[in-house]
Structure 1
Amino acid sequence: MDSDNSLVVYGAKRVIITITAVVCALLQIVDMTIVNIALPDMQGSMGASLSEITWVITAYAISNVIVMPMTSWLSQQFGRRNYFSASIILFTICSWLCGNASGITELIVFRFLQGIGGGALLVTAQTIITESYPIEKRATAQTIYVLGVIVGPTLGPPLGGYIVDNFSWPFIFYINIPIGIIATILTLQFVKSPHYAEKRKTRDVDWLGIALLIISVGFLQFILEKGQEEDWFNSALITSSAVISFFAFYFFIWREIVYPYPIVNLRVLRNKELSIGSILSFVLGFGLYGSTFIIPLYTQTIMGWTAFQAGMLMIPSTVFTAIMMPFVGKLMERGFPFGIMISTGMVIFFIYSVMAYKVLTPDTGSDAFFWILVIRGIGLGLLSIPVTTLALSTLKGVQIGEGAAISGMLRQLGGSFGVAIISTYITRDIAKYRNDLASHLAAGSTYTQNRIHMLTHGFQAKGMTPEVARNSALKLLDQLLTGQATIRSYMDVFFWIGMMFLICVPFVLVLVRNSKTKVDISQMLTE
């Protein structure tokens, strides 16, 4: 392949390419979260069960994770510009089909196909942005890309809430159409394809590797999405899926190592920076998607907020992450050690988690969250840009796309693991705390009887009959018990997320202590 400098562009053309790539990455990420808000409306209009409607999310997530590691190979086979534009077109057409679906089966199928297009957008967008900038400006390029990655999960819930409240659920898909059309035109006009080596002949294509990848990653994502619903390994379905996924992964790794034309080039993981950056991407995905998941859940289930209000609460975090990005980008360009920035970001994220742990009560207002979320935004700014840049900092040419595909998949899987583990933990933690609290409220205790008596009199004062008032009092007491148990489980989640980041700090300081942007750049320029 030609030197990757041949792909560098300047001026207005680079601005257009950057905006196009970031918008496409945003489309993919926003579509992962925006649908969550509309699920009740979809379920009602289609007459679907809860388990059926959740497949709208699961199908998209599975196809996303399957396609991500294959994006580099597909770009080489069809040309990056052609593949990227085809992915946008597929994503846009399927958005229209999802909005017009007349049944739940149609919607699930179209969401799966939409995910195939969307899975390519995130990784390919990162590769396009990286290669459009000269080597000494790659920290800036990653800063711009990461802004889209961070904004996406925050933008989805309020945008989805606004659309559902003011229009109808199909419009969460329809808004993708004009953006997709414009992005396709700009991609065909401005994005360049690298001159790859000769495309593989049909007999050389790693068909077995493709099949093993689809089986292993697809079943793993299915387990993460459906594990809690099916009671994990108490379910024969989940257990058999885990066995299939494990062996498929084992033979996939073996195949990719020995086959001369692998679908995913695992050899690129010999690069130290990519290996470390990919592991940290997994951790970052766990913390980012996990904390983004838990705060709206708390505000909606405990505080009774709307999805739009819950989403808007996250805006301070996003704003301060954006404010940090130019500052962090300049530090990296001047050679400030990656390890110091990443470990500092992890410590700040730990502080944010402890503060969130301490502030949660049934009456906590939005004002109490403001500075906590500002700290979260600062921590993410110091974390996300160095991690993303580190992964690709010493790669060249075709390796950039291969590395972006692997680190992108691991960030996505980190988010899936985070949400799955947190969901399971909350469910079981609530049950444990509820039993503990209930043991202190024995039916015959004086405190319990006085509490029921007070509540009953309060309801009677509102005009209820004695029997209805007592039943209402018991129901309210039960709700208060569940609410307290839920809050304590949320507190535990914040504490353990914080501890996860704190435990990672010494490993980061040891493993990333020699990584500096200027050193990496000088090495690349002299090769």
Structure 2
Amino acid sequence: MTPASSAPATYPTGVARAILLITAVSCAILELIDTTVVNVSLREISGNIGATTTEIAWVITAYSIANVIVIPLSGMLSNLFGRKLYFTSSVAIFTFSSLMCGFSGNLWMLVFWRFVQGIGGGGLLSTSQSIIMDAFPPEERATGLMVFGLGVILGPAFGPVLGGYITDHLSWHWIFFLNVPIGVIAAFLSWKFVSDLAGVEKPRIDVWGIVFLAVGIGSLQYILEEGTTADWFSSNDITFFFILAIIGLILFVIRELSISYPAVNLRLYGNFNLAMGSLMNFIVGIIMTGTLFIFPLFVQVSLGWTATQTGAFMIPGMLMTVVGMVIAKKSTEKGVHPKIIILTGLGLTVLYLVMLSFSSPESNSGDFFWPFMIRGVGAVMMVVPVLGLATAGLTGKNLAQAVGLSNMLRQLGGAFGVALLNIYLSHENAYVRNNMIPAINPYNPLSTDYVNGITQSMAASGYGPDESAQLAMQLTDTALTRQQLLVSYNHGFMIVGLIMLLAVPLILMIRYKKSSTPASVADAH
């Protein structure tokens, strides 16, 4: 009898492949949307269920912690239960927990079901990517990467759009209820069309590896999510979880490299290009999530946009990713060096950030239109080849493991990006304000004329001299705060753009050997 592993590989075609791809990419987008969809609705949710601003942050933190723990384990779990059963179960868990999130009547019930939702969602992302890539023969794998890459870009971007619209027009419960019909259909299609990997034996369970991973990565994610709110290491909780994260991660690495049945195969990083691709994925996570985090805050706080306005503005830029996908695909098919595609995408993304960094109080949607068009093209041209790089030359269970590691690093990169930008903006706000305040004094004719103009306007409206003077100073302080935030956000955009340039040496280090299959974006060794 011929072993399954030596049998010729078969790939779905026609309608079966189309349905498989739609199912997998829909699940990936659903998972990624749910990482950001709740953010814009936190104020309404906290008011509705009687939670404080600090407490409501757990709705995001619980999902993120569960997500980042399960993602690197998804390859092992897929091998253990079979890909069909594991993926379908993940869809079912995600769907049911979404329903229960919508029905939650208090904070901790919502937090619990968000954690369960994160467990299901973690199984969707990496398994979706391996399903999509395994649906194509090696010479066509670039097409699968394009499909998944589009989901990676659109998912986090659509989250705030959907969340803002639903919050403004329905209620926060529908953020979760909308997942249910899509999840039910996806679960049915998954069971019907997703196949198990051939020749994969059930692995032994690396219990200690899973425990150390959960402790290390879970603690690290908690620090990144809660650090800004808790004022970092001035908090005993953050210090405790930092020590726990270090111990957990060290023990995890030692454990995984010392046994023959690791939960996460870290030895795969002996492949140089996989290591470089995963590091690039970490940087992509910082850039993509960080800039998507900062822009809505910038336009809503500094320029007064609503959540719906912000979401609607971002749609054309998202659609532009299709153009970037076509350019990246055609370039790959013509044998263009992957380094050139990645560097072009990186250059366009830096340009978008530099253009945003020159915003002014008079800036409007027209000023941001072209930067976001450029971002749409640049993001895909950077992300898609990196996805290929991180998995080049791998198949079967090794592919599933590499995909899990790569996606975990991108998720952690996103958390790092948000945390670093929060720290930077906090310090920059204080620095900019301290430099602006001295300009408001009796010897500066500009500030004097501004304050006198408001005072006279208040007096003309019927306020007394003292009230008019007090209101003038309050309004001046408000104007100063908006200016200070605007300058800080501008500096933030510029800093992220400059940080991106640090990725250039990593890109140049990629080892590439041109082969007869353009989709093989990097030499495996």
- TM class by shorter chain equals over 0.9
SS of 1:230's equivalent? Answer: coil
Contact 1:7 1:192 in 2 (8 A): no
Q: 1:134 to 1:485 in 2, by over 3 A?
A: same
Contact 1:457 1:469 in 2 (8 A): yes
Q: 1:329 to 1:447 in 2, by over 3 A?
A: closer
Contact 1:296 1:310 in 2 (8 A): yes
Aligned ranges for residues 260-299 of structure 1 at < 5 Å? 260-299=260-299
**Between 445-454 and 232-241, the greater mean CA deviation after superposition:** 445-454
SS of 1:511's equivalent? Answer: coil
**Between 465-474 and 348-357, the greater mean CA deviation after superposition:** 465-474
Match of 1:92 among 82, 91, 95: 95
Give the partner amino acid of 1:9: P
Match of 2:125 among 117, 122, 126: 122
- Name 2:189's counterpart in structure 1: 186
- Name 1:303's counterpart in structure 2: 303
Shift of 1:273: 2.2
Aligned ranges for residues 2-13 of structure 1 at < 5 Å? 2=5, 6=9, 8-13=11-16
Distance 2:164 2:492 in 1: 25
Q: 1:467 to 1:349 in 2, by over 3 A?
A: same
Contact 2:200 2:397 in 1 (8 A): no
- The CA deviation string for residues 85-140 of structure 1, in whole angstroms up to 9 with x for no partner, is 10110011001100001110100011001000011111110000000111111001
Q: Tell me if 1:166 matches 2:165.
A: no
- Name 2:465's counterpart in structure 1: 466
- The CA deviation string for residues 3-58 of structure 1, in whole angstroms up to 9 with x for no partner, is 69635211000000000001000110111111011111111111100111010001
SS of 1:364's equivalent? Answer: coil
Distance 1:336 1:445 in 2: 58
Distance 2:8 2:300 in 1: 49
- The CA deviation string for residues 499-527 of structure 1, in whole angstroms up to 9 with x for no partner, is 122232233123345466837749999x9
Contact 1:339 1:512 in 2 (8 A): no
Distance 2:515 2:490 in 1: 37
SS of 2:230's equivalent? Answer: coil
- The CA deviation string for residues 313-369 of structure 1, in whole angstroms up to 9 with x for no partner, is 2223212221121221132233321111111211221222111112x1112000011
Contact 2:275 2:390 in 1 (8 A): yes
**Between 86-95 and 325-334, the greater mean CA deviation after superposition:** 325-334
Q: 1:102 to 1:520 in 2, by over 3 A?
A: closer
Distance 1:504 1:513 in 2: 17
**Between 509-518 and 86-95, the greater mean CA deviation after superposition:** 509-518
Q: Tell me if 1:218 matches 2:221.
A: no
Distance 1:14 1:337 in 2: 29
**Between 470-479 and 260-269, the greater mean CA deviation after superposition:** 470-479
Aligned ranges for residues 367-382 of structure 1 at < 5 Å? 367-382=366-381
Q: 1:522 to 1:289 in 2, by over 3 A?
A: closer
Give the partner amino acid of 2:115: F
Shift of 1:494: 1.0
Q: 1:51 to 1:7 in 2, by over 3 A?
A: farther
Contact 1:63 1:218 in 2 (8 A): yes
Distance 2:498 2:281 in 1: 17
Aligned ranges for residues 13-162 of structure 1 at < 5 Å? 13-162=16-165
RMSD: 2.0
- Name 2:484's counterpart in structure 1: 485
- Name 2:313's counterpart in structure 1: 313
Number of paired residues?
Answer: 522
Aligned ranges for residues 392-471 of structure 1 at < 5 Å? 392-442=391-441, 447-471=446-470
Distance 1:390 1:5 in 2: 25
Distance 1:452 1:181 in 2: 61
TM-score, normalising length: structure 1: 0.95
Distance 1:170 1:164 in 2: 9
Shift of 1:386: 0.6
Distance 2:512 2:457 in 1: 64
- Name 2:343's counterpart in structure 1: 343
Shift of 1:268: 1.2
Contact 1:65 1:412 in 2 (8 A): yes
Q: 1:351 to 1:16 in 2, by over 3 A?
A: same
Distance 1:162 1:197 in 2: 44
Shift of 1:483: 1.1
Give the partner amino acid of 1:49: T
Give the partner amino acid of 2:158: L
**Between 390-399 and 311-320, the greater mean CA deviation after superposition:** 311-320
- Name 1:509's counterpart in structure 2: 508
Distance 1:299 1:512 in 2: 41
Contact 1:392 1:404 in 2 (8 A): yes
- The CA deviation string for residues 286-312 of structure 1, in whole angstroms up to 9 with x for no partner, is 111111111111111111111111122
Give the partner amino acid of 2:105: S
**Between 230-239 and 111-120, the greater mean CA deviation after superposition:** 230-239
Q: Tell me if 1:259 matches 2:259.
A: yes
SS of 1:152's equivalent? Answer: helix
Contact 1:336 1:516 in 2 (8 A): no
SS of 1:172's equivalent? Answer: helix
Shift of 1:414: 0.6
Q: 1:376 to 1:523 in 2, by over 3 A?
A: closer
Distance 1:9 1:3 in 2: 18
- Name 2:355's counterpart in structure 1: 355
Contact 2:29 2:152 in 1 (8 A): yes
Distance 1:523 1:160 in 2: 38
Contact 2:63 2:117 in 1 (8 A): yes
Q: 1:165 to 1:346 in 2, by over 3 A?
A: same
Q: Tell me if 1:246 matches 2:246.
A: yes
Distance 1:419 1:30 in 2: 16
Give the partner amino acid of 1:163: I
- The CA deviation string for residues 356-409 of structure 1, in whole angstroms up to 9 with x for no partner, is 112x11120000111111111121121011111111121122111011000000
**Between 438-447 and 512-521, the greater mean CA deviation after superposition:** 512-521
TM-score, normalising length: structure 2: 0.95
> Identity of aligned pairs, percent?
39
Q: 1:146 to 1:523 in 2, by over 3 A?
A: closer
SS of 2:72's equivalent? Answer: helix
Distance 1:382 1:132 in 2: 22
Distance 2:522 2:437 in 1: 64
Q: 1:372 to 1:184 in 2, by over 3 A?
A: same
Contact 1:60 1:111 in 2 (8 A): yes
Distance 1:221 1:113 in 2: 16
Q: 1:447 to 1:340 in 2, by over 3 A?
A: closer
- The CA deviation string for residues 189-213 of structure 1, in whole angstroms up to 9 with x for no partner, is 111011343323xxx4211111100
Contact 2:512 2:521 in 1 (8 A): no
**Between 324-333 and 19-28, the greater mean CA deviation after superposition:** 324-333
Shift of 1:67: 0.4
Contact 1:59 1:111 in 2 (8 A): yes
